[in-house]
Amino acid sequence: MRPGFSAANAALAARHLGASCTLVGDVGDDPLGYWLVGELAGIDVRIAHLPASTTTTVAVLHDDAERSFMTTRGHLELVTWSAMSARIPRAAPGAIALMTGVFLMPQIEHDYPLVLADLNARGYRVAVDTGWPPSGWTAELRQAASQWMQHCDILLLNETEVLHLAAKDNLEEALRELAAMLAPGGIAVAKTGSKGASACSSGRICDAKAVRLNVFDTIGAGDSFNAGFLLALGAGAELTEALKTACRTASTIISKFPRQSIPPAGLAQILGTKRS
């Protein structure tokens, strides 16, 4: 479950891969919110319109492929777990719930340990992609994270986020520390951009290299990675294979322009799924 445009990126990536997912979230009661919902045809969408403008993030891509994000205030400040949770479907066997955007939703952030524990109780494996906190990874936020990470099965962060959350300079050490804080058997993942990705589970480090393609832009790469990784993992892939699938998914999608030209299940070969 992802709010705003990141939700659309992850859900659309799943559709490109020929897989099904349910998108639970909120948008504003404005033309932008209605347009966004309209772009999600073919996806099980359970979205409410809140009485505010749709929160919008503007991404600036720099020449060195680094990005800057500027986010407006808006509907995400009104999101509550009590309202959103009522739209969450019953968990199918092995179902994974992806939660992100927590630092843009103050009411969700306040109760995050309870939110993730609720998803555990509903039968979901819980995956979390926090994004970068506006204040950075302060000591206070690290302490708060230690409270909700025990309810998290899969942590999906980029390399910088992993290093700052763990307060380490070495990526392997940081991954080992974070993986040990997760639920038993938890997986800590570091998305390392053009290098690929690394992960740690039960003390074992796995790596995968990025697929070299002619990248148009990197916006949405992390969302596409998340979709590919979780779908592969949910289908029973071993950790290294899931990382490879995720890297291939992200690289393929960010090389496409316009991305609306990708038909449903147009990238199904990445997961080995069939067109419906």
Residue-wise pLDDT for 8-67, tens only, equals: 788 899 999 999 999 999 999 999 999 999 989 889 999 999 999 999 888 777 776 666
Does 218 fall in a domain?
yes
* Closest CA relative to residue 248, chosen from 273, 276, 267: 267
Q: Does the predicted TM-score (pTM) go above 0.85? A: yes
Are the CB atoms for 213 and 260 separated by under 8 Å? no
Burial 126-150 (b: 16+ CB within 10 A, else e): bbbbbbebeeebeeebeebbeebbe
Residue 61 included in any domain: no
Domain membership of residue 52 (yes or no) is: no
Rounded average pLDDT over 170-178: 98
The tokens of 145 are what?
């994270």
Q: Is 266 contained in some domain?
A: no
Residue 271 belongs to a domain: no
Q: Are strands 22-28 and 44-50 parallel, antiparallel or unpaired?
A: parallel
Bridge partners of residue 100, in order along the sequence? 129
* SS3 at position 177: helix
Cα 98 from chain centre: 6
Is residue 119 domain-resident?
yes
Most confident of 71-85, 166-180, 248-262: 166-180
Total structural domains within the chain? 1
Its domain, for residue 201, covers 11-21+94-260
Give me the CATH number covering residue 229. 3.40.1190.20
Q: Alpha-carbon torsion 124, 104, 131, 224, what sign? A: positive
Which CA distances in Å does 198 have to 3, 156, 191, 267, 273? Answer: 26, 10, 7, 23, 25
- pLDDT band at 258, cuts 50/70/90? confident
Query: Token pair for residue 181?
Result: 């804080």
Mean pLDDT confidence for 59-86? 85
* pLDDT tens digits along 113-141: 999 999 999 999 999 999 899 899 999 99
Report the distance separating Cα 81 and Cα 74, nearest Å: 17
pLDDT bucket at 148, cuts 50 / 70 / 90:
very high
Within a domain: residue 67? no
The full DSSP string for 123-170 is T-EEEEE----TT-S-HHHHHHHHHHGGG-SEEEEEHHHHHHHHT-SS
In a domain, 38, yes or no: no
Residue 1: what pLDDT? 39
